[in-house]
Structure 1
Amino acid sequence: MTTPPSSRRALVGGALAASAVAATSTVPAYAGSGKHDVPLLSPADRHLVQRFSYGLTTDLAKTVRKAGGAGAWFERQLKPASVDDRDAKKVDGWWPELSYSPSKLWQRQIMGMQGGWEVMANYQRRALQRRMRTNRPVLELMTEFWENHFNVPVNGDAQFTYRAAYGDRIRENALGRFSDLLLGAVTHPAMLIYLNQAESTKRHPNENLARELLECHTVGVGQYGEDDVKASARILTGYTVDMWETWQALYDPEEHWRGPVRVMGFRDKNKKKDGQDLTHRYLEYLAHHPATARRIAWKLAMKFVSDTPSAALVSHLSKVYRKNDTEIAPVLHALVASREFQRAAGKKVRDPGEDIVATYRVLGIHMDQPHADDSGVNALLWQAGSIGIYPLAWPRPDGQPIDNVSWSSPGRLMASMNVHYTVSNGWWPTKGVHYREPKDWLPKVRVKFVDLVDHLSRELLHTPASDRMVAACCQVTGYSKHEIIDPEHELVQWGMGRVLTTFLDSPEFMSR
């Protein structure tokens, strides 16, 4: 296993011995008994797809092979409009309130019809369902990445009115230019409300958005001073939202501060009453700044390569970013082509959201549109929260952590193990959810236990079972390798969940 030592200790040290082992490149693979019905991708293809999806399944592997390999599949993913995604789009109609106008949402809240927190819980559920169902995982991953980078927490008593539209705006540009992403996010009413820009005036410019724009969204700490923050706040004046009556987002030229402004290397006389063009030029300057290029390159490398990307890789990606006018796709091209990426298999730990989505996907669990509070789709959100954090709910502007250590505590591991065991046994949720029958995991009517373990390893981990994994499954069930398993065997009748959980609790599944 190539997970960093600190993360490996947290993941393995807190687990039961039987569920802490996994197939690795250094552990001999079980030889098997001949022909297999689960063809495997090459290690390189498997790594690319694992890192840029919400969990490799047998169906996704078939799609990759049909595309001509992971490289060709990835190329097509960067052009998401060319990939049919009707199954994921179905869920958009499950919660019609997510398309309601801000004023209607607010009225429904004050009339006691539906609280903002309820609307946002459904937005979180929709996000999880999209990730489970999508044929465009790269687009969904990058949408999540940028929603995290330009974080507007779903839990807010005013920004909820615009939060779904904010996520949709980010999705539109998630694989485009960072410049467009920055403009769309910073001037969006959800962001204006969250960071108090909606209340900013020329007499009293609010500095919250101006500061986070520099600290979190672009150049980063150490690149600017307090005078830069003040000037940044003055540039942004004029953008507002009427939160008293209409909930309309607008630009008010009367509230734009006029006079010379300077932020780092950006200068302007700022004489015009309407400062929107000034804002656009300012954001373009920030998007193209070398410090922004390095920061975006570093963050993408941390998310998709490792917690400690080399200075050489970050420098290379930042050059690609600037050379291509802040386009994201060329940076991703360069990232996956790097030797550092190719050597990074297993170096990233799944966060709670990735864990829950990958678990449901690999177990082949299908969910119906929710019709009651205890429907499976609703429970899915609660399970994600129980592992460590609800999706898109990080309370600070800096966004949810993307490093391994943050998600590698013994407490998180035990929470994941609890969810894995519950779901593998089909215990909860039970309404509006369809599990595979235990007998459906058998590759044939009668099979040796060792061959069943190998079959499951190929389905759940997309690798042959290691000798250590075989030993773990024998230990957790009490069966020998040569035990014959058929549909009437006690393992199939009531113990299959124990074997499935052994795979899901392994470091190999918990990493990507």
Structure 2
Amino acid sequence: MTRFGYGVDATLAKDVRKAGGAAAWFEKQLTRPGAFPDASADSLRRWWPDLDRKPRDLWQRQVTEVRGGYQVMEDYGRWLLVRRIRTRRPVLEKMTEFWEGMLHVPVSGDAHFTWRAAYGETVRAHALGRFDELLTATTTHPAMLIFLSAATSTKRAPNENLGRELLELHTLGAGNYSEDDVKASARILTGWHVDLWESWSRSYVKEDHYTGTVKVRGFTHNNRKADGREVTREYLRYLAHHPDTARHVCERLATKFVRDDPPRGLVERLAKVYLRNDTEIVPVLRALVASKEFRASAGKKLRDPSEDVVATYRALGVGVGRPTRNDSAGNAVLWQASGLGLSPHAWPRPDGTPVTDAVWASPSRALGSMSMHWSMAGGWWPSHGLSYREPKEWVPAKKPVRFKDLVDDVSRDLLHRPASKRLLETACLATGCTAKEKIDREHGLYQWGFPRLLAAVLDSPDHLAC
């Protein structure tokens, strides 16, 4: 639930119990995500209407300085974060995020921003499907074609950017291809086109497609037809089914969902499942979760900046409303993620947002998280367009409660687990209370010090790790 989600909240806990436990819930999330009604998350799209504008319209609005592409992409990041706060389908969201990170098109960019929201929807549609279909849909998508310079690549001047990154980042992996493979890969992909001047529409221009025999690793094609779309599809199917691709994909999955240095044996087992099931993603995830390595890794992965922000909102039970002014929470949530290191899909390089803990395990990240937890624990910022819970949610009105019991209640509420001895010691240190001290609504902890207790829980490894 924590590894494939964005933090446990009351709704998620209820869904898991209703499904019959974590294993049954996970299986249902994989195969029947529609069984979890998600209208609350789906309705958010209308908060940011620019996300549904046509590419040409978006470009014209940028050129005429109505609204810049970076502003539209900021809305995209906000939509993703608030959607993750609300969703009842966290596995689908998590896998959409994972593939958007691996098959990466940054949200920054003066041209590909026009198609970037649509690209995310394409990834979402295939996130729990087959990798070969996902690879075909993303490689030939206008956002990817524009970002990696294939939208204007021709047989006379083939651009190698997409041909190279397709091999190194999306399929075979570094060191598993030659420069001749890159050249042939680029030639295969010529013909796919996006009009970057007027219509911003996608097309296939047969006159721009290179013809002649092409060879990439074990893939060979006579490539005689001017229409090379079928050659592209055959080529991408070949890459998706290659054993090197199986290992590359499964290594990234294991790095994200198990540990930074996944055991080679686990990667090989997952790769066999991937190939045996015709690149279907769900069987691989089942095998990953069933592995002894996954179970041994519980609580040992660090949440990245976006995950930390979303999990904090979910833990505190903060309700986010439609933004009505600049400093509304629906807008501020993006700045919070940026303040911790990175907003969604803003990584500028083609290799995508890192999935290793080491990137985020820095003193500055720790201090940033503590600052964010503290401001939200006190309800100080963001302060508009959201609803915080108050200390009376935990401190009874009549009968005093021992501090150790209060800490346990807060831990069960925020983290859905009993307070550990370590957490109790931390809470005592943070608040100055003793374990057996009686807390009522006249106590200073209730009157002014409660944010210290909430922040202590949020700063703990029990919240920051998953």
TM above 0.5, yes or no, is yes
Using CA pairs under 8 Å that are at least 6 residues apart, name the structure with larger relative contact order, 1 or 2: 1
1:449 aligned onto 2:449: no
The aligned counterpart of 1:482 is: 436
Q: Structure 1: how far apart are the matches of 2:397 and 2:9?
A: 20
Equivalent position amino acid for 1:451 in 2: D
Aligned partner of residue 282 in structure 1, secondary structure: helix
Alpha-carbon deviation of 1:483?
A: 2.1
Match of 1:134 among 83, 87, 110: 87
Aligned partner of residue 2 in structure 2, secondary structure: helix
Compare 428-437 and 169-178 and name the one that shifted more.
Answer: 428-437
1:163 aligned onto 2:116: yes
1:118 aligned onto 2:38: no
1:467 aligned onto 2:421: yes
Q: Structure 1: how far apart are the matches of 2:215 and 2:423?
A: 61
- Structure 1 residues 272 and 443: CA distance shift in structure 2, 3 A: farther
2:300–2:465 contact (8 Å) kept in structure 1: yes
1:109 aligned onto 2:42: no
The aligned counterpart of 1:76 is: 28
Equivalent position amino acid for 1:467 in 2: K
Q: Structure 2: how far apart are the matches of 1:345 and 1:442?
A: 31
1:109–1:116 contact (8 Å) kept in structure 2: yes
The aligned counterpart of 1:238 is: 191
1:271-311 Cα distance to aligned partner (Å, 9 max, x none): 00100000000000000000000111111111111112211
Aligned partner of residue 301 in structure 1, secondary structure: helix
Match of 2:148 among 170, 195, 210: 195
Instruction: Give RMSD over aligned pairs.
Output: 1.0
Aligned residues: 464
Q: Structure 2: how far apart are the matches of 1:350 and 1:141?
A: 12
Alpha-carbon deviation of 1:441?
A: 2.5
TM-score, normalised on structure 1? 0.89
Aligned partner of residue 262 in structure 1, secondary structure: strand
The aligned counterpart of 2:289 is: 336
Counterpart mapping for 1:323-362 below 5 A? 323-362=276-315
Equivalent position amino acid for 1:462 in 2: H
Compare 454-463 and 62-71 and name the one that shifted more.
Answer: 454-463
Q: Structure 2: how far apart are the matches of 1:383 and 1:248?
A: 35
1:214–1:220 contact (8 Å) kept in structure 2: yes
1:313-335 Cα distance to aligned partner (Å, 9 max, x none): 11110000001110000000111
Equivalent position amino acid for 1:301 in 2: A
The aligned counterpart of 1:368 is: 321
1:443–1:455 contact (8 Å) kept in structure 2: no
Alpha-carbon deviation of 1:463?
A: 2.2
Aligned partner of residue 259 in structure 1, secondary structure: coil
Unaligned runs of 5+ in 1: 1-48
The aligned counterpart of 2:237 is: 284
1:50 aligned onto 2:7: no
TM-score, normalised on structure 2? 0.98
Alpha-carbon deviation of 1:345?
A: 0.5
Q: Structure 2: how far apart are the matches of 1:197 and 1:172?
A: 23
Alpha-carbon deviation of 1:372?
A: 1.2
Alpha-carbon deviation of 1:443?
A: 5.8
Equivalent position amino acid for 2:18 in 1: K
1:443–1:452 contact (8 Å) kept in structure 2: no
1:361-398 Cα distance to aligned partner (Å, 9 max, x none): 00000111011111111111101100011111000110
Q: Structure 1: how far apart are the matches of 2:313 and 2:397?
A: 23
1:258–1:272 contact (8 Å) kept in structure 2: yes
2:11–2:88 contact (8 Å) kept in structure 1: no
- Structure 1 residues 444 and 225: CA distance shift in structure 2, 3 A: farther
Q: Structure 2: how far apart are the matches of 1:292 and 1:505?
A: 38
The aligned counterpart of 1:264 is: 217
Compare 490-499 and 174-183 and name the one that shifted more.
Answer: 490-499
Q: Structure 1: how far apart are the matches of 2:204 and 2:442?
A: 70
